[in-house]
Chains A and B, each alone.
Chain A
Amino acid sequence: MATEYNTVFASIDNYRKGGVQCLNEDAKRYAFSNIYEVAATNKPYDRIVVAKNLDYTIEVCRAEGRSGWMACAHDEFVIAMDYDVVVHYLKLADDTMIDRDKDGFQSIKSAPEGQKMGRIFLKRGHQALLPENTAYSFQADKPATLMFQTILGDESIEKWAEICQH
C-alpha cells in the first residue's frame, strides 16, 4: 500500500510545541522556544531573538499591517513562515540614514527618501534577501510570522526567560 504523506507545518494561529524532557539536565541550557508562539504573543514588528550564537541571531516577528522602514549595514535574510507578507524595497538616497558601523537592523525614523526598487510577494516558506544598505518595509493583511537570519543590534529584543522553557 502506498503511503500518502502529509507534511505538517504550523502557523501563528495553529502550532503545537514539543519540549525538553530531562533526566539529569537543566532544560534552560536548550533555550527551547517556538517561533509561532513568539509571533502570536508579541507586538507587530518587535524583533525577538529566538537563537543567538555569539553576535549572530535568528529573530522572529509578528507581521501585521504595514511596518516602518528598516535597513541594515550588512545583508539579512527573511523567511515567511506561514502567511503572505509583501516586502517593499527602497534604495537609500543618502549614506547617513543608517550607522554603517553598527550590526543589526536599524529603524529609520522619518520616511526615507530614495528610489523604489520594487516588491517581493512572499508566501509560506519563501526566503528573501534583505540586501545591505537597502531600506525595507513589510506589509501583511493578516497576522503572519517572519523569521530573520541577522546579527544582534540595538533594537533586537532579548527576553529569554519569557519565551523559553524552564
Chain B
Amino acid sequence: MSAIMTSTKNSSALGYQSFKIGEFSFDRCEYFAYINCPTAEHIISIDDFLRALMRDVAWGFFYGTVAFDDVFGTINHYGNVDVYLGTKHAEWKHAGRDYIENFKSDELMDLFKAILSDWTNEGFDPFAAPQETGTAWGPKRGNEDRLISRQREVAKRMVGIPGDAPLRTDEGGYPVNRAFPDVDQEQPVIEAEPGFEGELHAYNFFGYLSRSDVTWNPSVVSVIRQSLFCPTTEEYVLPIDHGNDRVEWFLQLSDEIVWDIKDGETSTPLATVTMRAGDVSAMPGDIRHQGQSSKRCMLLVWENGSPEILDMIRKGTAPMVPVTF
C-alpha cells in the first residue's frame, strides 16, 4: 500500500514559521521547502522555491500557470487562484496523487508574502542572478524585506515621458549591470522645432535594460491599449516554468536563451527553442516554457493583457497559437 507522507520537519527549531492555508501546509529546513497536502508531500530546494515564490508574488500570480517545478504551482483565474500538487503531471494524476484547492487571490497573496518574508534570509536576493547574491541556506538569519518588496516599473504610455515611469540612472540607484559594460548609454538626439518641445519622445531602450537590477522580471516600457512591451534581463534559469493561458511572444534582443518546452498539462518534454539576437518566437498557450541564459541577456516579452482575451479564456475559445500557415 502506498503511503502518504507528512512532514516531520519543525520549522520553528531553526527559527522559521510554519504556514497553512486550506489543506496545504508549508515548512522549511536549512535546505528545503516542504509542501504537504491530503494526497502527498513534496519537497523543493529552498533557493528554487524562494526564487519561484518571489516571481509569483511580484507578478500577482501572473498569466495562467506559475509552475515552481513539474509538481507544484499556481493557476491564476484573476480574482481567485488554484494551488495544485501533481495536477500538471501525467504520472501524479495517473497515481491519483494530484490535489488542487482554490483560494481568493488576496488571501493567498497574504500567505505567500508572509512565507517569502519569513523564509528569505539576510543576504539572499531571490530576484538576483546566483553570482550576484548570497545563499538561502541555513537557520533563520535576518530578512531582506527591502529587496523582496521591489515594485516593477510599469509605464502607462512610455518610460521617460514626463509624468510616466522614470528612466533608470546611476543617481536613481540603477548602475549598468556588470554583464553590460559595452552597451552604449548615449540618449537619442531630439531636435524639436519651436513650439513642439516636449512632444517628441525617445530614449535609449537597450541602455535602460542594461541597468536592470533584477533577472527574469519583466517591466512595462511601452503600451498601446493592451499591447504591453515587457522587456527583461535574463541570467541563469527562469525560476518558474511558465504555462501561459494565452499566446505570448518573445523577441531576443541580445545574446542567447534556450527555452525548454513541455506540455502544459502533462509536463512531457516537447521541444527546445534556441533564440539568438533578433529571433522571434511565439509561446503557444498550451505549453510551459522555462528559459536558460548562460550570460545576462536582453529579452523582449510581449503580452496581450486585454479583457477580451480573458473572456475567451473563460469560454475556452482563446487561440493556443497566434497564426496558422
Tell me the nearest residue of chain B to A21, going by C-beta: B272
Least distance between A154 CB and chain B CB atoms (Å): 17
Chain A proximity mask over B183-221: 1 for CB below 8 Å, otherwise 0 = 110111111110110011111111100000000000001
**Choice from A8, A16, A120 contacting B202 with Cβ under 8 Å:** A120
Chain A residues numbered 115-142 whose CB sits less than 8 Å from any CB in chain B = 115-129, 131
The answer to whether the Cβ of A144 comes within 8 Å of any Cβ in the partner chain is: no
Please indicate the chain A residues that have their CB under 8 angstroms from the CB of B323 in the complex.
31, 52, 158, 160
A-B contact pairs, 22 of them (CB 8 A): A5-B178, A5-B296, A8-B276, A30-B281, A30-B282, A31-B281, A31-B323, A35-B279, A53-B249, A53-B302, A53-B304, A58-B302, A117-B199, A118-B190, A124-B206, A125-B183, A125-B253, A128-B201, A151-B225, A160-B323, A161-B325, A164-B325
Q: Measured between alpha carbons, how far is A145 from B261 in the docked complex, in Å? A: 29
B247 touching A129, Cβ below 8 Å: no
Q: Measured between alpha carbons, how far is A164 from B161 in the docked complex, in Å? A: 35
Please give the number of chain B residues whose Cβ is less than 8 angstroms from any Cβ of chain A in the complex.
79
A5 touching B281, Cβ below 8 Å: no
Tell me the nearest residue of chain A to B195, going by C-beta: A115
A5 touching B279, Cβ below 8 Å: no
Chain B proximity mask over A34-77: 1 for CB below 8 Å, otherwise 0 = 11110000000000001111101010000000000000001111
Q: Measured between alpha carbons, how far is A36 from B201 in the docked complex, in Å? A: 25
Q: Measured between alpha carbons, how far is A156 from B206 in the docked complex, in Å? A: 26
**Choice from A16, A118, A127, A161 contacting B276 with Cβ under 8 Å:** A16
B272 touching A32, Cβ below 8 Å: no
The answer to whether the Cβ of B254 comes within 8 Å of any Cβ in the partner chain is: yes
Q: Measured between alpha carbons, how far is A36 from B295 in the docked complex, in Å? A: 22
**Choice from A23, A34, A52, A87 contacting B271 with Cβ under 8 Å:** A23
B278 touching A29, Cβ below 8 Å: no
A-B CB proximity, top 5 nearest: A125-B206, A18-B274, A10-B277, A128-B202, A160-B325
**Choice from B178, B205, B302 contacting A126 with Cβ under 8 Å:** B205
B278 touching A37, Cβ below 8 Å: yes
The answer to whether the Cβ of A157 comes within 8 Å of any Cβ in the partner chain is: no
The answer to whether the Cβ of A102 comes within 8 Å of any Cβ in the partner chain is: no
Please indicate the chain A residues that have their CB under 8 angstroms from the CB of B284 in the complex.
29-30
Known contacts A32-B279, A127-B222; is-contact A20 B273 (Cβ 8 Å):
yes
The answer to whether the Cβ of A22 comes within 8 Å of any Cβ in the partner chain is: yes
A123 touching B302, Cβ below 8 Å: no
A129 touching B280, Cβ below 8 Å: no
The answer to whether the Cβ of B157 comes within 8 Å of any Cβ in the partner chain is: yes
Least distance between B259 CB and chain A CB atoms (Å): 9
A53 touching B227, Cβ below 8 Å: yes
The answer to whether the Cβ of B158 comes within 8 Å of any Cβ in the partner chain is: yes
Please indicate the chain B residues that have their CB under 8 angstroms from the CB of A23 in the complex.
269-271
Q: Measured between alpha carbons, how far is A115 from B194 in the docked complex, in Å? A: 10
Known contacts A118-B200, A120-B200, A125-B184; is-contact A9 B254 (Cβ 8 Å):
yes
Please indicate the chain B residues that have their CB under 8 angstroms from the CB of A150 in the complex.
224
Q: Measured between alpha carbons, how far is A160 from B280 in the docked complex, in Å? A: 12
Tell me the nearest residue of chain B to A35, going by C-beta: B278
Please indicate the chain A residues that have their CB under 8 angstroms from the CB of B247 in the complex.
53
Q: Measured between alpha carbons, how far is A91 from B193 in the docked complex, in Å? A: 11
Least distance between A14 CB and chain B CB atoms (Å): 10
Q: Measured between alpha carbons, how far is A126 from B179 in the docked complex, in Å? A: 19
Please indicate the chain A residues that have their CB under 8 angstroms from the CB of B324 in the complex.
28
Q: Measured between alpha carbons, how far is A150 from B320 in the docked complex, in Å? A: 21
B224 touching A75, Cβ below 8 Å: yes
**Choice from B181, B204, B226, B273 contacting A18 with Cβ under 8 Å:** B273
Known contacts A53-B322, A74-B224, A89-B200; is-contact A8 B279 (Cβ 8 Å):
no
